Amino acid sequence: MKLGACWYPEQHPESRWGDDVRRMSAAGLTLVRLGEFAWAALEPAPGEMDLAWLARAIDMAAEAGLGVVLGTPSAAPPRWLIRSHPEIRLVDVDGSPRAAGSRRMTCPTAPVYRESSARMARALVERFGHHPGVVAWQIDNEPGNHDSARCWCPACETAFRAWVAARYGELARLNDAWGTAFWSGQYGSWDELELPRRSSTVQSPSLLLAHRRFASHQVVSGLAEQRAIIAAGSAGRDILVNTYWDDTFVDARDVHEPAGIAAIDAYPHGVDGPEANAYLLDLARGSAGPSGRAWVMEQQPGPINWTALNPPVPPGQVRAWGWQAALHGMEASLFFSWRPTRSGQEQYHSGLVRHDGTDDRGLIEAAVLARELRAVADSAPEMLARPRARIAILHAYEDAWAIEIDPHQAGLTHRSLVQPVHAAVHRLGLDADILGPRDDLTGHTVVIAPALHLMSEDRLRRLREAIAAGALVILGPRSLVKDLDDCWLETPLPGGLAATLGAHVVESLSQTLPVTVVPGDAAAGPWTDVLEVDVADDDPEPVEVLARYGGPSYLAGSIAALRRGDLAYVGASSAEAWSTILAPLLIGRGLAVLPARVGVERFERGGRRIVLDHVALTIKGSPELDPGAA
Ligand SMILES: [Zn+2]
């Protein structure tokens, strides 16, 4: 794994630049990202390009031995552009346009914004497309972040109407698909189809889901325009987009897969700890599609500034985060950022050096990490090759949107259902690949769909193909409940697979009772499905009850998990319940399950067992591994 830093020469005096890049290189960094917020410095006035300073910065970085990742600046358009074309401002749901002065304040549909972004990409690639120091490109930054995919401007409304019309064809079909008879929501003409504005209570989930799909599509199509321009002028370089890892504003799979490589932020303090970090790293690899290639484009280097508490980062933590990224198969990790700014919105965000330019602990640990990674790459490169896992976990942004729109329990998200399953697998010492429901599912021994909320014939077909190929398929709570328009199925659940399962879901509960899972006494989690068996005990393929609910409530003794042949259903949602139920199922499929442990990740890499301890902040290997000695 290569290491690098995000660098903002336009925010610092030029007299500092040479020293900056030489120190990066001396610390063992080999990549530097720049340019992605520098639009106003690159185009200070309409039609007036100033690329000379950027050329000097790129030359300096290249001379210092750094590979440049050059960003297009569309995330931070200049004030003059917004002032001369106020229609490019993003309009929020309350009708107020976003002001200049921050970032991601533009409408993803606005033609002038799209054309201006393309113009900048063209200018950069014409000048630097063949520069030997430019090793990769980044388009935009964190698309969708700050809820910037959805826009309520007139251009978006017109485009949305056209998008819906193209998808459904006839109004009668739309009314039927969305079930608009509810609350007199029928559309009598296309003009009546409006963006989901604030009303007395929530808008129709079908409309909201369509709007999420449309908004993501608009962002992705804008990125594709820039990607095509860069690809045409800078052959042989990876063209990445950096997505804010925990966002669901855009479908990151649609963003990354066309490039065959993903890039994400990794700010472990922005999510709840190392298990969430592990999940999001694997999700990034999955978002790239079959290549599984991913970078961490922004890695937390110390305390950050944008969460509620921004806690301290103890010694050893930055190194441990680096190892976690490497062991999850990241190809590169760039720290954000090299040096904190004296001005602007992120002054409390640490960098690798301090405001006064002296080495911060992040830089010292980055240098150690760089030495260790080099030593391992020389002596045991197989340690850094992430093997294909035997377990696949399904993830889809459409399902995430549907659950966000109608969560049934405040605060419950798709991640809060999928991540515990990933955590359970990791606690048992195993890797998991994260796939999409459109992927071929036949290459894994076990396929787990923890929250495959939406049902389609294509999704069912792929699950059946996995079973036919010999996989064990395990569904989680609220799987195959609604159709692709977010309307409830009127067949026994899980929709399309209840007959195969020989059982069905009788209650889908937002769980507030003290319910546990037996065997064991793990809490069942915030969502619980209760199952009932449909086939007789002497059926040629009987149902095996794997777990029941316990605790002092009416649910005690009811079925929490069951299996019939190669299809299983787990109604509980906590990581503890999943690891209890999963362990025997995985052992039954020949997987080397370890006793469950929390706070420690255990990897099998090239015949070597590696233990990354997130509490002690140590990494140990068997046979002996001491990267620190390198
Ligand atoms: Zn708009």
Domains assigned to the chain = 2-151+214-382 (3.20.20.80), 154-207 (no CATH), 391-596 (3.40.50.880)
pLDDT, position 622:
75
Residue 590: count of CB within 10 angstroms of its CB: 9
Across 91-229, where does the E strand assignment appear? 134-139
298 as an active site residue: the answer is: yes
Residue 185, both tokens: 């929501």
Cα Rg of the chain, angstroms: 25
Please give all residues whose CB falls under 5 A of ion ligand 1, grouped by chain where several chains appear.
107, 109, 151, 153, 156
pLDDT value, residue 626: 62
Looking at residue 629, its pLDDT comes to 47
- Find the 250 Cα to ligand 1 centroid distance in Å: 15
CA of 148 to the centre of ligand 1 (A): 10
Residue 549 phi/psi, 5-degree rounding, is: -80, 145
Is residue 96 pLDDT above 50, yes or no?
yes
Q: Which residue has the tokens 């999963």?
A: 582
- Asked whether residue 625 carries a pLDDT value surpassing 70, the answer given is no
Q: Tell me: pLDDT of 585 over 60.
A: yes
Instruction: Convert the pLDDT of each residue in 531-559 to its tens digit.
Output: 999 999 999 999 999 999 999 999 999 99
What is the 210 CA–ligand 1 centroid distance (Å)? 15
Which position among 298, 372, 398, 576 bears the catalytic label? 298
CA of 403 to the centre of ligand 1 (A): 25
Q: Whole-angstrom Cα distance, residue 70 to residue 54?
A: 10
| Average pLDDT value for the chain | 96
The alpha carbon of 155 and the centre of ligand 1 are apart by a number of angstroms equal to: 5
Split at pLDDT 50, 70, 90, the class of 437 is confident
Q: What is the pLDDT of residues 172-193, one digit of tens each?
A: 999 999 999 999 999 999 999 9
Residue 606 pLDDT greater than 80, yes or no:
yes
Average pLDDT for 431-438:
94
Task: Locate 414 and state its tokens.
Answer: 């798709």
Q: How far is the CA of 542 from the centre of ligand 1 (A)?
A: 55
Helical segments of 179-257, H only: 205-233, 252-256
293 and 262 Cβ atoms separated by less than 8 Å: yes
196 CA distance to ligand 1 middle (Å):
13
Task: Give the whole-angstrom CA distance, residue 141 versus residue 72.
Answer: 8
Q: Which of 10, 36, 43, 142 is catalytic?
A: 142
Sheet-wide strand order for 618-622: 600-605, 608-613, 618-622
The rounded Å distance from CA 287 to ligand 1 centre is 26
Q: How far apart are CA 373 and CA 332, in angstroms?
A: 11
- Cβ neighbours of residue 464 under 8 Å, at least 6 residues apart? none
With 50 as the cut, is the pLDDT of residue 360 above it? yes
pLDDT-derived band at 272 (thresholds 50, 70, 90) equals confident
User: What is the whole-number distance in angstroms between the Cα of residue 569 and the centre of ligand 1?
Assistant: 42
Q: Is 170 a catalytic residue?
A: no
Mean pLDDT of 123-140: 98
Banded pLDDT at 73 (limits 50, 70, 90): very high
